[in-house]
Chains A and B, each alone.
Chain A
C-alpha cells in the first residue's frame, strides 16, 4: 500500500504534535490498563485472603457476616458455638484439620484472635502460601502472642515485649486485662491479608484473661492473678468459629450438610470461595466506577487526537489535491487520514503498555513490601487485549470523521489547489 508509507512519512514530518498526541494516548492507555491490573490484582488478592480452607463454620447468621468476622475480622459474631460441637467436628472422620477461632478482644485497635498452633501449620493464603515467621516462633505458653506484620510495624513491637489485651473491639477500651500481659513470641511476615492486622494468642490465653469474668464483665471483688489462672482448667467453653480442612474436596458438600443439619446446636458452614465471591460482588460498584473513569480518560485522549486532526485538515487540502493529481483515489485519501489515526492509536497503545510495565517493575517492590499486594508482571490478559482492541477500534472510528471530511474535500476540490 503506497498510501501507508505516505501516512507514516507525514506523521514523521509532524513529529512534535504527533509526539504530544502519542504521549496523551499512551498515558491514558497506561492508566486504563493500570486500573484494570490493580482491579484484578486486588480482586485476586482478596480471593487469596484465605485458601486451602474447605469450610468456615460459625453460629447461624449469614454467609457474608460469618466470612467478615471470621476471616476479615470485621464486625462481630452474633453467637458463639460450643466447644463440644467444635470437638465433634474436629474428630470427624472426613476432617483433616481444624483451626478454632475465638474473637472479642483487641489490642490498641487491632483484633485479638485466640487460636491453636494448627493455625500456623494449616492456614493458607494466595493459593498455597503458608504463614511464615519474620522473627521468633509460634506461641507455646499461655501468655504468649504472635503479631501480624502490620501490628508489629505500626506499633513498633519487638520480640519479648509485653502487651496488654483489652476487652471489646474499641481503640480505647477501659476494660483492660492489664493484670495478665502477653509476651511477643513471634512476628509474621506480611501476607497482604487481615492476618497482618491480627494479634494471635492461644485459646487458653483467652480463657485465662476471662477466668474472673462472667458474661463479659469482671466479677466485682474476685481477682485471680496470672499465675493462679494457670492452675484453672483453661479449656474454652465456646469459640467464635472454626476453619475446616477436609481429607478430600469431594466430601465438602456432604460435611457442609452435616454441619448445617447438626441437631445439638444451630451451626452454619460456608464455602469461603463462594462467600468471597458474593462479598466482592457487593463492592463491584466502586470497582466499575473506577474503570469507567479510566475509560473516560481514554475517550478524552482520543477526542484530543480528533481535534488535532480536524484542525490540521485544512492545511492538508493542498497535499490531498496533489495526491489526487497523481492518481490517488478518494479512497486513498480516506485511508491516508484514517490510517494515521490507526497508526497513532496502535503506537499509543504500544507505548502505553510499555509505560505500564515500566511502572509495574518500578513500584512492584514498594507495593509488595508496604501492602503485601503481589503485582504479577504477566503478559496482557485476554480482557486487556480486548480493551486495547477497543481503544484501537475507537481510534479508527474517530479517524473516520476527519477521513470522511478529507474525502469530501478531495472530491469537491478536485485538483484545484486551494488556500
Chain B
C-alpha cells in the first residue's frame, strides 16, 4: 500500500522534474521553428528543427526495402547510413581508448608507486602532456598514412594523458593511514599494492578514465574529418561539401546522443565500482 503510494509520489516527482527541465528546450525549438518558417533565417544556413528531424530519420533508416533473401531483419534494420557511421565511430573510440588507457594505467601505477620511476619519467610526461592530440595529426598521417591507423593513434593519445595523470595522482595521494593499517596487518609488496593502494586510488583512476573517454570522443570526430571516409565526423564534413546543413545538424545530434550514452555508461560503472565511497550515495 504505502509502497505503491510512495512509488506513485516518486513517479510524480520525476514527471514534474522532467516537465520543468524541458521548458527551455521546447521554447527554443518553437522559436527556432518559427524563425525559419517565417523566412527570417535562410534554411540553407539553419534548417528548421522539423526538417532536421526528418533528415535524421532518413539518415537512420535502411537504404533499401527489406528483402529476406539478402540479409536478416536485424542486419537490415541497422543497414542505414547512420548506424554504420555510429558503429564505425564507436569502434574507433573504444579501440583507441582501450589502447591509450591500457598503456596509461600500468605506466601510471608504476609512476605513482615508485618515486624513482616517477623522477625518471615525469619530465618527459610533463613536456608531452600539454601538446593537444590534434597537433599530432600531421605526424600521424606521415607515420601511418590515411585510414584507421592514424585515427587509432590520435584517439589513444587523447585518452592516454588524462588516464595517466589521474592514475599517478590517485596512487600518490592514497591516505597514509590505509597503508599503515595494512602494513600493521602484515601486508607488503604486491598485496599492499593490489589490495590497498589500487582500490584506494580507484576514485581518481575512474575520473581519469571518464575524462579520457571524453577526450577520445572529441578526437575521433576530428580524426574522422581528416583520415577516414566513414564515421560521424566524416559524415558531417561530407555534408558540408553539399551544403546539407540539415544533415550536418542531424550528425551533430547523433554525436551528442552517443556522447551522452557513453558518459551515462561510465557513470553507471563508476557508481557500481565506487559503491563503497562516501560521496557516492544519494
- Binding between chains A and B: no
The chain A residues found within 8 Å of chain B, CB to CB, are: none
